[in-house]
């Protein structure tokens, strides 16, 4: 149950004066409440990003055009707009040192005459401009009588809004929500709070909404640091509770002598790396212990994660159980099936594939065999989540491309077997340490550094689109010598159709220039068509594959040695690194050409320079975080990453580490959160939407 003290903040925004259905809907759009009615808590978490300083109060004779000014004037006369002529409504005013025109381009004459009657004194505040040598102020922000001077703020916070929602309407709603916020118990450790010089939560919130200068908007300002720490503590406490709960659930010890693994690995054309051996040892120890395994395997592009995953699956099979391997897309699931099938055959293990495309009798047969224990390893997409998929005894689940799955899916997958399964999740997108803590703090982590023997570095070159003809000429020469190439066109959701058209046009143009043998693959192709295009490229029936970013992860064609990325400035650093990782997988010298359209912004320049400087995915991930910030890095809504209001892990990394340590200490001392501070921390969890973690609290 949510603590009753929070009820006022969980009231819907429509309880506020001036917020009707239309305004409420617009507020929900601004605050991204995903179709749910916005609440007062959403409003108070919406901090200003800028401010308007109205403290400049000069005489008109000395006022600087281009500035926000607040001046006291005498209203002289009105010059109404002339019908049929595109002239504004003007009001002439003076402060006895100089004259000024107040201009209205969309006049409501009755209202203007009411607020600016001739012969009165008024205080006006707005941007001062000069037009044809005359001072002008268009549509003042404030027009008040002298006895209402206090109603004009010296400094006015500015909130992100949407076109149809007036800034002052949103600001008023935020102010009213703040006034209704109840006094909350202190959940921070008092000595730590005192040492940092932080205000209490209510004071921090109030100060963050009332900046006095630009420094108050800084993420390192004390009130904002306090709020960021609160949010990070809620995140870390929730993850610690989930982790604690998973560790407490009875696991089972799975013993294996490694006989199946030895057979499978003997069929590989390479030796395992030291990092692979260490990761397998970590997994073995997890699976043989009585506790549940929930481990994240991070590996750079081409570091050999699939082999490590197969080691875990074979460990379970040798112990008399089943394993599942889940990928986020059908392309990847089929790719993994192709990679694992050879090892499974060498080990004498039964493996099957289940995606949305397996239907009818084929699907029925797979499900029956799975439930009877006649399939040892099932590879599939999220179709494995379906209720009709029943394992005889699943002991380990491997999830590929973990950044597409959040904590909830992890918990769901663990419950698939008769008994809770061990879980190994993998990502080929190296995750910066700070993001790892916020999104995967409930997991142990293994890292695969380096690449398997024989992998050659990829030469990376950056060139402008004006040199595209040179790129095509070079490609023609390379293809004549048997090379194969990817050509990637960007896909931006807002203009999906036009971008797909651009990819199709590029494929047509390359067919004309290169003499056919050009394939095309994109996300809107049907599965069978996509597979056929990929298979043709892999078999060498086509030499060039034009693609949108559906080939970003997991596609493995060792013969491909050239990667051309058009509009490289549109891609994130990690994404470009992933694309580059599609080449350099065979023995041929490989090249990645990043083609950009000038002018390049400062961040795009740094991004492309970083790619030329290193091919270490972990270094690139940290640089990507520095350049883009956490929110944009993976697109939090799709990534399983938490969506923060106050915290920015690119800036607040030290606070995150402190919050993690604090959360662990709290739960070691008070695992049920029953002390006075524990009760306050329950309020914190609910306030920041981490209430799902409360059900993992220890009882008794």
Residue 638 has a pLDDT of 36
Q: List, for residues 142-151, the tens digit of each pLDDT value.
A: 999 999 999 9
Report how far residue 452's alpha carbon sits from residue 264's, in angstroms, rounded to the nearest whole number.
Answer: 17
Show the tokens assigned to 700. Answer: 């008794």
Distance CA 224, CA 202 (A): 12
How far is the CA of 366 from the CAs of 18, 114, 336, 381, 674, in angstroms? Answer: 59, 78, 18, 14, 49
Residue 693: CB atoms within 10 A of its CB come to 22
Among residues 555, 558, 585, which one has the least CA distance to residue 333?
555
324-382 pLDDT tens trace: 999 888 888 888 898 899 999 999 999 999 988 888 899 999 999 999 999 999 999 87
Which of 39, 29, 51 is closest to 162 using CA atoms?
A: 29
Q: Is 635 exposed, middle or buried (0-12, 13-18, 19+ CB in 10 A)?
A: exposed
What does residue 584 show for φ and ψ, rounded to 5 degrees?
Answer: 80, 20
Question: For the ranges 131-145, 303-317, 445-459, 604-618, which has the lowest average pLDDT?
Answer: 445-459
pTM: 0.71
Say if residue 599 is preceded by a cis peptide, omega within 30 of 0. yes
pLDDT digits (tens, 9 = 90+) for 491-505: 644 444 555 667 788
Q: Give the alpha-carbon dihedral of 355, 310, 352, 348, to 10 degrees.
A: 170
DSSP-derived 3-state class of residue 543: coil
Model confidence pLDDT, tens digit, residues 462-486: 999 999 999 999 999 999 898 999 9
For the record, the structure tokens of 318 come out as 């040798």
Residue 492 has what pLDDT?
A: 47
What gap in Å lies between CA 519 and CA 539, rounded to an integer?
Answer: 12
Q: Evaluate whether 82 touches 68 at the Cβ level (below 8 Å).
A: no
Q: Which of 203-212, 452-461, 668-677 has the lowest mean pLDDT?
A: 452-461
Which residues have CB under 8 Å from 598's CB, separation 6+? Answer: 464, 465
Residue 649 has pLDDT above 90, yes or no: no
The pLDDT of residue 654 is above 50: yes
- 34 contacts 93 by C-beta, under 8 angstroms: no
Please tell me the distance from the alpha carbon of residue 424 to that of residue 437, in angstroms, as a whole number. Answer: 17
What is the longest distance spanned by two Cα atoms in the chain? Answer: 99
For tokens 């002529």, the residue is: 85
User: Is-contact 219 651, C-beta < 8 A?
Assistant: yes
Other C-beta atoms closer than 10 Å to the C-beta of 262 total 12
Alpha helices of 68-196 — where are they, by DSSP H? 109-115, 167-180, 190-196
What's the N-to-C CA distance of the chain in angstroms? 18
Q: Tell me what the pLDDT averaged over the chain comes to.
A: 87
Write the CB contacts of 480 (distance below 8 Å, at least 6 apart in sequence): none
């Amino acid at each position: 149950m949510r603590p009753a003290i929070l009820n006022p903040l969980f009231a819907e925004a429509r309880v506020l004066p001036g917020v009707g259905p239309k305004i409420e809907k617009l507020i929900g759009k601004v605050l991204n409440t995903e179709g749910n009615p916005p609440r007062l808590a959403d409003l108070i978490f919406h901090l200003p990003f800028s401010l308007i300083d109205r403290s400049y109060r000069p005489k008109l004779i000395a006022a600087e055009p281009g500035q926000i000014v607040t001046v006291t004037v005498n209203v002289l006369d009105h010059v109404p707009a002339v019908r049929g002529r595109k002239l504004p409504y003007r009001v002439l005013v003076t402060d006895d040192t100089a004259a000024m025109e107040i201009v209205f381009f969309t006049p409501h004459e009755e209202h203007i005459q009411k607020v600016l009657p001739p012969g009165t004194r008024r205080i006006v505040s707005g941007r001062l401009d000069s037009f044809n040598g005359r001072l002008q102020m268009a549509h003042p922000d404030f027009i008040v009588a002298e006895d209402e001077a206090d109603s004009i703020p010296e400094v006015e916070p500015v909130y992100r809004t949407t076109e149809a929602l007036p800034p002052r309407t949103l600001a008023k709603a935020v102010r009213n929500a703040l006034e209704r916020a109840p006094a909350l118990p202190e959940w921070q450790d008092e000595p730590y709070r005192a040492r940092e010089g932080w205000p209490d939560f209510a004071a921090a919130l109030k100060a963050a909404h009332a900046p006095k200068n630009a420094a108050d908007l800084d993420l390192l300002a004390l009130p904002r640091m306090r709020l960021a720490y609160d949010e990070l503590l809620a995140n870390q406490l929730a993850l610690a509770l989930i982790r604690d709960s998973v560790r407490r659930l009875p696991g089972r010890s799975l013993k294996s002598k490694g006989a199946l693994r030895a057979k499978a690995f003997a069929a590989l054309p390479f030796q395992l790396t030291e990092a692979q051996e260490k990761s397998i040892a970590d997994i073995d120890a997890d699976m043989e212990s009585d506790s549940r395994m929930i481990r994240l395997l991070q590996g750079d592009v081409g570091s050999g994660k699939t082999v490590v995953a197969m080691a875990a699956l074979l460990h379970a099979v040798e112990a008399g159980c089943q394993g599942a391997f889940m990928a986020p897309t059908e392309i990847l699931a089929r790719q993994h099936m192709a990679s694992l099938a050879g090892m499974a055959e060498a080990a004498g293990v039964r493996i099957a594939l289940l995606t949305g495309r397996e239907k009818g009798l084929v699907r029925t047969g797979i499900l029956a065999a799975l439930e009877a224990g006649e399939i040892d390893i099932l590879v599939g997409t999220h179709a494995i989540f379906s209720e009709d998929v029943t394992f005889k005894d699943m002991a380990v689940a491997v999830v590929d491309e973990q950044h597409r799955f959040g904590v909830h899916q992890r918990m769901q997958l663990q419950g698939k077997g008769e008994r809770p399964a061990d879980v190994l999740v993998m990502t080929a997108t190296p995750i910066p340490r700070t993001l790892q803590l916020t999104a995967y703090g409930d997991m142990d982590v293994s890292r695969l550094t380096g690449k398997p023997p024989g992998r050659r570095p990829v030469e990376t070159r950056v060139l402008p689109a004006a040199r595209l003809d040179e790129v095509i000429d070079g490609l023609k020469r390379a293809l004549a010598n048997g090379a194969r190439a990817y050509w990637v066109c960007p896909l931006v959701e807002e203009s999906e159709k036009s971008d797909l058209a651009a990819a199709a046009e590029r494929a047509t143009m390359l067919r004309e220039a290169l003499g056919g043998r050009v394939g095309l693959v994109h996300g809107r192709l049907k599965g069978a068509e996509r597979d056929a295009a990929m298979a043709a490229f892999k078999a060498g029936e086509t030499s060039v594959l034009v693609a949108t970013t559906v080939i970003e992860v997991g596609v493995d064609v060792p013969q491909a040695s050239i990667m051309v990325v058009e509009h490289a400035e549109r891609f994130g650093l990690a994404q470009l690194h992933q694309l580059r990782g599609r080449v350099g997988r065979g023995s041929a010298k490989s090249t990645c050409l990043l083609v950009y359209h000038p002018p390049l912004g400062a961040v795009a320049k740094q991004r492309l320079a970083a790619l030329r400087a290193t091919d270490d995915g972990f270094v690139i991930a940290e640089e990507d975080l520095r350049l883009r910030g956490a929110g944009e890095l993976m697109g939090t809504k799709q990534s399983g990453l938490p969506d923060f209001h106050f915290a920015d892990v690119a800036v607040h990394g030290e606070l995150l580490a402190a919050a993690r340590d604090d959360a662990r200490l709290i739960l070691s001392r008070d695992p049920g959160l029953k002390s006075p501070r524990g009760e306050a921390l329950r309020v914190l969890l609910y306030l920041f939407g981490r209430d799902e973690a409360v059900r993992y609290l220890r009882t008794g």
